[in-house]
Structure 1
Amino acid sequence: MDHPATEIGATKNVACLPLPLERDVFLRRLLRELAGTLQDVVGVQEASGYISVVGASIGEHIDHAYRSALSVDRLSRDQVAAVLVDLKRRIQGDFFVIEESEDRIVFGNRACPFGELVLGRPSLCMMTSNVFGAIAAENLGYAAVSLERTIAQGHEGCRVVVYLRPSDGVRHGMREYFRKDD
């Protein structure tokens, strides 16, 4: 026979357990497991494709939010670089501009928003590629993103290059993005 007093005590004891479980960790783990399942079932390339679709939608939403907040129709190249760094900062990434020119913006990163849960899940990097590519292309007309180094691949940090002008050929692993109305 259950005793209500015992159940109340058990509930209090469980609620006080020092578990690393809260919404952020839960959602990051959920995304890690979804990406891992996709990678296992359809492969890294196909999983990256699925995640790319999500990243493009998120990129559009974020782009709209920043342009509205800045009261501009289009972001300048300098604003695009600042927005990309800021959005990653807001989600606990640590991106910074290494180099900026008319042709490209090179970013470094010391911390992934997914934390250690990104390890072994390179398909999650498509979120960065698509968000960066969507925002840059929508505002500047074109972007191609190269994930040269990533924490997901085991590197200490990331190196992400956003090319702002088309070249004669797409480099290996680079994804191109175009303004929607072009």
Structure 2
Amino acid sequence: MSQPVDVEIDLDRDVFLRTLVRELATSLESVIGLEEASGYISLVGQAVGTQIDDMYLKALGTDRLSREQVAEALVDLKRRIKGDFYLIEHDETKIVLGNRACPFAEKVLGRESMCMMTSNVFGTIAARNLGYASVELQETIARGDAGCRVVVHLVPGGGPTSGREYFADAEPAAGGPGAGTVPA
């Protein structure tokens, strides 16, 4: 008779935690709706973004990252958690990133609220260091796109109204928990 320890199943800490986050997002979306679920997940993303930003600041021995360092940190942090983000372009008004693999892997499919982790982590880091960010999720794997395209606008009014805004104090704009002017 086989024992549980002898069978091959796809279960480890990573799969368990990704499944946990997906099921939390599923529960929130089904109980309170996509927009409100995104708001709650945004609060978590903001806290995580602050912690990650502090890690980079400490490791680099600085109190503020340059625009180039912010762009590099956004790509690096996603690489560390098994995303496949890459820099498409950046200038004084925006940072444009692409992505071929979500850190949540297949668990993100159909759970757009989980993308608020990316929006808020990116927005919090950019705003804390550069003063302002508006994050626009143009394409997402969660929505069924082949990859993600994320634009981090660095100038107020320089981006579309569909992004979530973040300010230097890392507080999201008015409009609900973690929400910018209009949800992405």
Fold similarity call, TM over 0.5: yes
Q: Aligned residue for 1:38?
A: 28
Q: Aligned residue for 1:123?
A: 113
Partners of 1:153 and 1:181 lie apart in 2 by 27
When you count helix as a share of all residues, which structure comes out higher?
Answer: 1
The alignment of Structure 1 onto Structure 2 pairs a total of residues equal to: 171
Q: 1:168 to 1:71 in 2, by over 3 A?
A: closer
Unaligned runs of 5+ in 2: 172-184
Aligned residue type for 2:110:
G
Unaligned runs of 5+ in 1: 1-8
**How far is 1:163 from its partner?**
0.3
Q: Aligned residue for 2:79?
A: 89
Aligned residue type for 1:110:
R
1:85-111, CA deviations, whole angstroms, 9 ceiling, x for partnerless residues?
000000000000111110000000000
Q: Does residue 17 of the first structure (1) align with residue 14 of the second (2)?
A: no
Partners of 2:127 and 2:74 lie apart in 1 by 12
Partners of 2:169 and 2:94 lie apart in 1 by 20
Is 2:137–2:149's contact at 8 Å kept on the other side of the alignment?
A: yes
Normalised to the residue count of structure 1, the TM-score between the two structures is 0.91
Partners of 1:47 and 1:122 lie apart in 2 by 9
**How far is 1:170 from its partner?**
5.0
Instruction: For residue 176 of structure 1, give the secondary structure of its aligned residue in structure 2.
Output: strand
Q: Aligned residue for 2:169?
A: 180
Instruction: For residue 142 of structure 2, give the secondary structure of its aligned residue in structure 1.
Output: helix
Q: Does residue 73 of the first structure (1) align with residue 63 of the second (2)?
A: yes
Q: Aligned residue for 2:154?
A: 164
**How far is 1:171 from its partner?**
1.4
**How far is 1:181 from its partner?**
8.2
Q: Which one has the largest radius of gyration?
A: 1
Counterpart selection for 2:127 from 137, 147, 150: 137
Counterpart selection for 1:48 from 30, 33, 38: 38
**How far is 1:124 from its partner?**
0.2
1:32-88, CA deviations, whole angstroms, 9 ceiling, x for partnerless residues?
010011001100000000000000000000000000000011000000000000000
**How far is 1:14 from its partner?**
1.4
Normalised to the residue count of structure 2, the TM-score between the two structures is 0.90
Q: Aligned residue for 2:180?
A: none
Q: 1:40 to 1:22 in 2, by over 3 A?
A: same
